[in-house]
Amino acid sequence: MPLSPTTSTTVTPSDPAPPPRSYDGTSPFPPDGPVPARDGGEWLYVTVTAVIVILPFVALGLAGWLLWGSLIHPADIVLALVLYTITGLGVTVGFHRGLTHGGYRAVRPVRIALAVAGSLSVQGDVIGWVATHRRHHAFTDQPGDPHSPYRYGTHLRGQLRGLVHAHVGWLFRNERTPAERYAPDLLADRDIRAVSRAFPALCVLTLALPFGAGWAIGGTWRYGVTALLWAGFVRIALLHHVTWSVNSLCHMIGERPFRTRRHDRATNLWPLALLSFGESWHNLHHADPTSARHGVDRGQLDPSAAVIRLLERLGWVHDVRWPTADRVAARRV
């Protein structure tokens, strides 16, 4: 099938204007209004979130115990690396730089493939992910931000509480981001809607794949089980925490060489650059959200940008918003 440019639009969020709530940059955020009920009930939402967050750690403990009995195989590690890379790039290149921020436009099969790859990371369905992240940019580090580490103020205790909230605590708050408001472009996209609906099945697939591959490579079901642990649960848990670290650590520690909007404290944090595929150059990202490259300075590893460049050379993505020297210089502090 010939590759043809997609007709659907990838728009930058229309940045809904924050409500006129005053915020001085240091106080705890005011309490939220009443939260609308979620379909299926609160307990179901909290239970599913708890399973997603806790189960990988139970698996990690189990994996360690199995390792003690020498039940880890080279194939498990290779499978884990491959799946970490595919699902990680699905999130960074697909969900984030492409679908959320419109840093490039992709031909239809690539757009769908990236949305599927990102969904295999078990970070929520693609439309919900994008809506939440656009809200984070609309209200960064001020009331309305779904995961700001400054939620409880800037004194030490508030900061520690805020760090836990920004890393994982926010997932447990029943604070739905309306996709109708933040991701109408994706709701209007049949392909993306289908990927979004398939999220539960993709969560099963992301575990079935390593199990099946491990079994096929090793020849017995025990190889399937160890592959499921390492390349399934442990791989998912690691990417979860790297992604969440961009939300938490990359708004608290690191360097801020670029100007961002008022109250926005996004940072560049080099130790996470490789594991996060370049997403930890988060200060530049908040200074210029549509830029397809986040690591713009010399020596800043940005594997996601390298993949976008490769896809561009293959003719599979186009209209890439590469940072120009002028644009970068204009944003430098």
User: Which residues are at the interface with Zn ion (CB under 5 A)?
Assistant: 266
Closest approach of Zn ion to the CB of residue 292, in Å: 12
Summarize the chain as % helix, strand, coil (round to 5). 55, 5, 40
Closest approach of Zn ion to the CB of residue 147, in Å: 8
Q: Where are the beta strands (DSSP E) in the chain?
A: 105-106, 317-318
Closest approach of Zn ion to the CB of residue 184, in Å: 18
Closest approach of Zn ion to the CB of residue 186, in Å: 15
In the complex with Zn ion, the residue whose CB is nearer, 76 or 288, is 288
Closest approach of Zn ion to the CB of residue 25, in Å: 16
In the complex with Zn ion, the residue whose CB is nearer, 56 or 88, is 88
In the complex with Zn ion, the residue whose CB is nearer, 56 or 98, is 98
The one-letter code for the residue type at 198 is A
Q: Buried b / exposed e across 220-234, counting CB within 10 Å, b at 16+? A: eeebbbbbbbbbbbb
Distance (Å, rounded) from C-alpha 304 to C-alpha 308? 6
Eight-state DSSP code of residue 203: H
Closest approach of Zn ion to the CB of residue 171, in Å: 16
Residue nearest to Zn ion (CB): 266
Closest approach of Zn ion to the CB of residue 100, in Å: 6
User: Contact at 8 Å (CB) between 225 and 211?
Assistant: yes
DSSP class per residue in 108-167: HHHHHHHHHHHHTT-SS-HHHHHHHHHHHHHTTTSTT-TT-TTTT-SSHHHHHHHHHHHH
Q: Report the sign of the C-alpha dihedral through residues 301, 305, 311, 312, in that order.
A: negative
* Alpha-carbon distances, residue 196 vs 56, 92, 192, 223, 317 (angstroms): 22, 17, 6, 31, 22
In the complex with Zn ion, the residue whose CB is nearer, 8 or 12, is 12
In the complex with Zn ion, the residue whose CB is nearer, 63 or 266, is 266
In the complex with Zn ion, the residue whose CB is nearer, 13 or 158, is 13
Distance (Å, rounded) from C-alpha 270 to C-alpha 293? 15
In the complex with Zn ion, the residue whose CB is nearer, 89 or 266, is 266
Total count of residues recorded for the chain: 333
In the complex with Zn ion, the residue whose CB is nearer, 91 or 266, is 266
Tokens 């096929």 belong to which residue?
A: 216
Closest approach of Zn ion to the CB of residue 244, in Å: 11
In the complex with Zn ion, the residue whose CB is nearer, 116 or 284, is 284
Tokens 């595929």 belong to which residue?
A: 277
Distance (Å, rounded) from C-alpha 299 to C-alpha 278? 11
Distance (Å, rounded) from C-alpha 306 to C-alpha 320? 12
Angle at 25 between CA 24 and CA 26, to 5 degrees: 95
Distance (Å, rounded) from C-alpha 117 to C-alpha 292? 18
Closest approach of Zn ion to the CB of residue 209, in Å: 28
